[in-house]
Amino acid sequence: MGESTIPMLPCRTLQPVLDFYTVLGFEVTFQQKSPNPYAVVERGGIQLHFFAMKQYEPAESYSTCYILSDDVDGLHDTFRAGLKAAYGRIPTRGLPRIGPLRDTTYGMRQFLVTDPGGNCLRIGQPTSQDQHHRPAPEETFSRALHHASLLADSKEDLTGAAKIIDRALRIEDERPTPVQLLRLLVLRADVAWRLGDEETARSALAQADAVQLTDEERESVHDDLERVDELRD
């Protein structure tokens, strides 16, 4: 017997959520207005159900689900293209928004999408059979990146992530490699945008632009450089 799990996610009103998922390439396969507002969207093997609650506050939502894919890079590219076509830019803060594609410390390559209802979809592809968190690196700046990324993307603790990065960047007796510096600055800009701190975000992006990288180093930070372009939009 085959089983499947279908997330049932809340929102204040259905239409903005359905419009958003249509932009991402989903099809609305069911919708009712009464007695209870309810709708279903589908894309490939993904099926999501939504119900409306008048007193619901999207900005305070903790609703989430995980979607496994065998082509997470392709989905990320498709979603970004659809969002840019619909909004004129790729939304990186507020509601809705899409996050960067990252290789996690627990054997997944993933990104996060948050819809207008505040529901967060974590979409990932396994890169390892070991799904346990890797130990934090001992080296100073790799360790800072490790912990800041976990706080920003897994726990949504943006303030905590910002503090870790700022503390690392203030260290005077050690210096990060160009790749480490670029990654720290891009994550700092990302976190600042999501916190609504435009001045810090622009400052971090300007510093990231000034980091000198070899061709090989640029290839190793491809995802981060893509995020720079998104944040600058």
Cross-strand pairs, 124: 68, 110
Q: Compute the distance between CA of residue 230 and CA of residue 233 in angstroms, rounded to an integer.
A: 5
pLDDT at 1: 64
Closest CA to 122 of 66, 78, 68: 66
Domains delineated in the chain: 8-124 (3.10.180.10), 136-232 (1.25.40)
**Omega prior to 96 cis, within 30 of 0:** yes
Q: What is the mean pLDDT of each run of 10 residues along the chain (233 residues)?
A: 90 97 98 95 97 94 95 96 94 91 90 96 92 86 94 88 97 96 96 93 96 95 90 81
Whether the model pTM is above 0.85:
no
Q: What is the DSSP string of 62-114?
A: --EEEEE-S-HHHHHHHHHHHHHHHHSS---SSSSEE---EE-TTSEEEEEEE
pLDDT at 25: 97
pLDDT at 143: 95
